């Protein structure tokens, strides 16, 4: 076989090898199989439930700041009053840590059970506790999670922990914040680790290519302190088995083959 023919054969083989399939890359690859009816049946606005160790901020707003002041303790007692959504004091509002039994200690009211409540439900509960017994005007109560975070690890561009501002996060929101999966991320077997209100841990395997994920709300919506781990695919796993020594050996052999081929080509061209 002539050198020119051999070169064309090698080039053709390399071109075919480089034309890899994209089958394992797209998310929700079979989404056309999910009907709008199925999506409508599972449509809802997700609201996080308060759990032990959550950190909350609570602001009570009234047109008379002095009336709300006892319920807006800041880093300095009596400060941190918020009215009409605008802070009128420099101190940050007091945070409330939910204890292991699901309670917080709230000013004036005292011990308050909050576990299992949504943010809106707690707002209504506090409102009912302070009006009209302590405040004659119907107050506006705003509860926020201070520590609503999700951790994303493994084959993503920016692994780390991310804090949510709106207490709602889908699995794709979390992956987007982490810069998306790398080309080496296994999209068919993402691990979700979750801890419930009792401290019990559980795990779920998620296939990002399967469109049924959109109707599985327990996996699609993440909870506070969830951990996502994206494991490497087979290509990355195989590559990781080649150590530095093996890599150097392959490099040397490749160089020798290239030099030998060059010499062979020069010799034949001079015939």
Same domain assignment for residues 134 and 79: yes
Same domain, yes or no, for 231 and 246?
no
Q: Which residues contact 4 (CB under 8 A, 6 or more apart)?
A: none
Query: Do 38 and 114 fall within a single domain?
Result: no
Distance between CA atoms of 1 and 9, rounded to whole angstroms?
10
- In tens, the pLDDT along 121-180 reads 999 999 999 999 999 999 999 999 998 999 999 999 999 999 988 888 999 999 999 999
Q: Last residue of a domain, which of 122, 145, 168? A: 145
184: left (phi over 0), alpha (psi -120 to 50) or beta: alpha
Over residues 181-196, the pLDDT tens digits come to 999 999 999 999 999 8
All residues at 6 or more sequence positions from 218 whose CB lies less than 8 Å from its CB, including other chains: 204
In a domain, 216, yes or no: yes
- pTM for this prediction: 0.70
Q: Which of 145, 167, 182 is the last residue of a domain?
A: 145
Nearest 5°: CA angle at 52, between 175 and 102? Answer: 145
State which residues form the domain around 204: 31-43+148-235
pLDDT average, residue stretch 253-257: 60
Please state at what angle helix 3-18 crosses helix 244-269, rounded to 10 degrees. 150
Query: Does 159 share its domain with 224?
Result: yes
**What pLDDT is recorded for position 94?**
85
Quote the Cα angle for 214-38-149, to 5°: 25
Same structural domain, 176 and 223: yes
Same domain, residue pair 132 and 176: no
d(C-alpha 63, C-alpha 227), whole Å: 42
Which CATH number characterizes residue 189's domain?
3.10.560.10
Same domain? For 37 and 162 the reply is yes
Nearest CA-CA partner of 87 in 108, 65, 71, 67: 65
Radius of gyration of the chain (CA): 29
Block residue for tokens 């943010």: 119
Does 245 fall in a domain?
A: yes
At 15-31, the pLDDT tens digits run 444 454 556 678 988 88
């Amino acid at each position: 076989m002539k050198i020119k023919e051999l070169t064309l054969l090698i080039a053709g083989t390399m071109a075919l090898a480089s034309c890899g399939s994209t089958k394992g890359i797209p998310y929700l690859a079979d989404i056309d199989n999910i009907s709008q009816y199925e999506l409508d049946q599972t449509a809802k606005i997700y609201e996080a439930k308060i759990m032990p160790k959550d950190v909350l901020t609570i602001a009570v707003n009234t047109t008379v700041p002095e009336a709300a002041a006892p319920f807006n303790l800041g880093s300095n007692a009596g400060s941190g009053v918020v009215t009409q959504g605008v802070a009128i004091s420099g101190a940050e509002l007091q945070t409330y840590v939910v204890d292991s039994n699901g309670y917080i200690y709230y000013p004036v009211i005292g011990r308050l059970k909050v576990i299992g409540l949504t943010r809106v439900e707690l707002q209504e509960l506090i409102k009912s506790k302070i009006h009209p017994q302590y405040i004659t005007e119907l107050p506006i109560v705003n509860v926020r999670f201070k520590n609503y975070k999700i951790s994303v690890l493994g084959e993503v561009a920016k692994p780390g922990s991310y804090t949510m501002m709106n207490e709602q996060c889908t699995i794709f929101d979390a992956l987007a914040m982490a810069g998306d999966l790398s080309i080496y991320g296994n999209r068919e077997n993402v691990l979700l680790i979750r801890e419930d209100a009792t401290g019990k841990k559980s795990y779920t395997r998620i296939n990002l290519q399967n469109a049924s994920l959109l109707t599985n709300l327990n996996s699609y919506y993440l909870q506070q302190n969830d951990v996502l781990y994206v494991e490497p695919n087979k290509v990355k796993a195989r590559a990781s088995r080649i150590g530095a020594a093996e890599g150097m050996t392959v490099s040397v052999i490749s160089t020798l083959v290239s030099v030998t081929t060059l010499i062979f080509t020069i010799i034949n061209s001079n015939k």
